[in-house]
Structure 1
Amino acid sequence: MLPWVIAVLIGAVGCSRKGGEEEVLDGKAKGEIALGQELYERNGCPLCHGDRGRGDGRIAAALNPRPRDFRDLQAYQQGYTLEAISSTIKKGMASGKGVMPAYPHIAREQRRLIASYIVAMQADTAAQTLSITNPWIRESLPPHSQTAAYMTIANQGSGEEVLTGVEAPIASRVEIHLSYEEEGLMKMKELERISIPGDANIALQPGGLHLMLVDLEQRLEAGASVELTLNFLHAGTWHLKVPVRPMEN
């Protein structure tokens, strides 16, 4: 279906597309996601994509191809980041895999806020499809300046998830490391992030991927627990209370 046909259908069921000067909104009193939802609804996005972005809006059945389900990261033909979604809203899309009219009249900041709401809908789904099991931290050894954390991260979703960073109040920083063998020697390198493919598990374990807690504030003994904050690209922020175990684990 051509973009102008979609635009006619949207207009026929009451979509409001503001023309002329761009409206200036005061977002200081509202959260970005809440304001993004308001703009999402005001600009008629639910008519195609549905109230919760599942591609089940009132006119979705009349469109071919059907509107994308925002929860399916593989359905984003032009990328699913904040910047990519904002660009798609502005420029639209017309290809064999998807058709969407352009909305250049929507102010840049408003497009970003709508994109923030769409990304939040991704996160709602991503958080439901992500699980973290068997987290533990190795007790520290003299001089007790660093130690390692391990766990298994499972992604039951269809799209890729990414661990972008980790924080711990007890350490000055937490680094993502990979231990590997090269020419008979064990080596270690720092990684910027960990990618977890859809329908896959990633094990952080001794001798492989792990989290390194650097510059510890105190000695960590077996039986204690440590707070870790894991930041994911789609599933958002996860707070864990991780037990400290003896070295033999």
Structure 2
Amino acid sequence: MSQFSASVRTLAVVGAFVAQSAVAHTTIQAQATEGTTTYNNVVIGHGCTVNGVSIPVIAQSVLFPTVNPIVTVSGAVSETITENPLSIESFANIAQLIQNRNVFSKQAEKKNAAGQVIGFANTEGSLDPSLHGLVPFRTAGVTFKSNSCAKQLLIKVAIADICTPNGAANLWIPSVTTKYSNPNIDGIGSPATLTINRDLTKNPLPSSCGAGYTITLTPSPADIDANLGIPGYLP
């Protein structure tokens, strides 16, 4: 699967990705339908808690899986997929930041060496810890190949809500990494999810597919360690 093929596993149930807690997570507001440009928001659920006191989010880092993402497949499949079922080879440059200074007064897109957008760096903000915050972005249309059995794409997005420079932060990432190794930090194990659904009316599954399958793209630990940080805010 080209750049998606770093690690492909077939799963009966992706349980770790559906766990919810009573505390509001940082999430992606809306699902998208294939082939459409979608205007969306990163929803900040709460600030950080330090010594029992809630403090504001002052910066945010958002990272989409582009460098050796982990690919998992769940649903009606009996073996690992061998071909890329999507119209794209990488998720780089699919997401674009929308200027909005309601939460952060300084915004920038994170880019790779090829100049493609891989995430966002928002700083110089202050979100009341008792309120939710919206950070708008858009995604370009992604389509499923007509001969594939993929019905849904779940894109796990690594997000850091930063409350003190190089200090308190909520890390909405899939798991601990070499750099972010404290498992007790709020958010670890609960990344945000951008869902893209196949348009089953315009692009129905082939009759041989049965119920089809879901693909999950998760940022690799190396990608998170290399690209989640913001100088002066998150190492």
Give 1 or 2 for the bigger CA radius of gyration.
Answer: 1
TM-score bracket for the superposition, by shorter chain length: under 0.3
Structure having the higher helix fraction is 1
TM-score by length of 2: 0.22
Q: Of the two structures, which has the highest relative contact order with CA contacts closer than 8 Å and spacing of 6 or more?
A: 2
